Structure 1
Amino acid sequence: MKDQAYQTANIGKFQDRFVTAKGEERASVALSNPETLWFNTGTLCNIECANCYILSSPTNDALVYITADEVRGYLDQIAARRWPVREIGFTGGEPFMNPQILDMARAALDLGYEVLILTNAMRPMMRKRMREGVRALAAEFGQRLTLRVSVDHHTAALHDAERGAGSFARTLQGMQFLRDAGVRMTVAGRSVWNESEAEARAGYAAFYRQHGFNIDAQDHGQTVLFPEMDVTVEVPEITTACWDILGKHPDQVMCASSRMVVKRKGADRPVVLACTLLPYSPEFEMGETLEQAEASVHLNHPHCAKFCVLGGASCSA
Structure 2
Amino acid sequence: MIDQKFQDPFLTAKGEVRGSVHWRGLKTLWLNTGTLCNIECVNCYIKSSPTNDNLVYLTLADVTPFLDEIEALGEGAKEIGITGGEPFMCPDILNIMQAVLERGHSLLLLTNAMRPMMRPRIQAGLLDLREQYGDRMVLRVSMDHHTKAVHDAERGAGSFDAACEGLSWLAEHGFNLALAGRQALAEDETEARAGYGALIETLGLGISPSDTRQLVLFPEMIEGDSPPEITTACWGILHVDPADMMCASQRMVVKRRGEGHAVVTACTLLAYDKRFELGASLKEATAEPVQLNHAWCASFCVLGGGSCSA
TM-score when scaled to structure 2? 0.97
User: Which stretches in structure 1 are left out of the alignment for 5+ residues?
Assistant: 1-6
The DSSP-based 3-state class of the residue aligned with 2:237 is helix
AA partner of residue 39 (structure 1) = L
Cα separation, 1, equivalents of 2:222 and 2:135 = 34
For the Cα contact (< 8 Å) 1:34–1:85, is it kept in 2?
Answer: no
Residues 82/192 of structure 1: CA separation in 2 closer, same or farther (3 Å cut)? farther
Is residue 301 from structure 1 mapped to residue 294 from structure 2 by the alignment? yes
User: Residues 98-153 of structure 1: CA distance to partner in whole angstroms, max 9, x if unpaired?
Assistant: 01111101101011111011000000000001001111111111221111101111
The DSSP-based 3-state class of the residue aligned with 1:33 is coil
For the Cα contact (< 8 Å) 1:36–1:85, is it kept in 2?
Answer: no
For the Cα contact (< 8 Å) 2:145–2:184, is it kept in 1?
Answer: no
- 1:81 deviation in Å? 3.4
- 1:70 deviation in Å? 1.5
Which among 109, 120, 124 is matched to residue 128 of structure 1? 120
Cα separation, 1, equivalents of 2:295 and 2:120 = 41
AA partner of residue 248 (structure 2) = A
Q: Which moved more, 1:211-220 or 1:117-126?
A: 211-220
Which among 98, 101, 104 is matched to residue 109 of structure 1? 101
User: Which stretches in structure 2 are left out of the alignment for 5+ residues?
Assistant: none
Cα separation, 2, equivalents of 1:163 and 1:74 = 33
Which among 227, 243, 251 is matched to residue 235 of structure 1? 227
For the Cα contact (< 8 Å) 1:87–1:115, is it kept in 2?
Answer: yes
| Corresponding residue of 1:4 | none
What count of residue pairs does the alignment treat as equivalent? 309
AA partner of residue 110 (structure 2) = L
| Corresponding residue of 2:179 | 187
The DSSP-based 3-state class of the residue aligned with 2:41 is coil
RMSD: 1.2
AA partner of residue 295 (structure 2) = P
- 1:82 deviation in Å? 4.0
- 1:257 deviation in Å? 1.2
Cα separation, 1, equivalents of 2:54 and 2:217 = 27
The within-5 A match list for 1:1-317 is 11-82=3-74, 86-294=78-286, 295-317=288-310
Cα separation, 2, equivalents of 1:302 and 1:233 = 7
AA partner of residue 236 (structure 1) = P
For the Cα contact (< 8 Å) 1:192–1:227, is it kept in 2?
Answer: no
Cα separation, 2, equivalents of 1:33 and 1:172 = 37
Cα separation, 1, equivalents of 2:189 and 2:160 = 21
TM-score when scaled to structure 1? 0.95
User: Residues 26-83 of structure 1: CA distance to partner in whole angstroms, max 9, x if unpaired?
Assistant: 1110110310000000000000000011110000000000101211111001122345
Cα separation, 2, equivalents of 1:247 and 1:158 = 34
- 1:193 deviation in Å? 3.8
For the Cα contact (< 8 Å) 2:130–2:137, is it kept in 1?
Answer: yes
For the Cα contact (< 8 Å) 2:77–2:106, is it kept in 1?
Answer: no
- 1:165 deviation in Å? 0.4
Q: Which runs of 4+ in 1 moved over 3 A?
A: 81-85
- 1:88 deviation in Å? 0.3
The DSSP-based 3-state class of the residue aligned with 1:291 is helix
Cα separation, 1, equivalents of 2:61 and 2:152 = 36
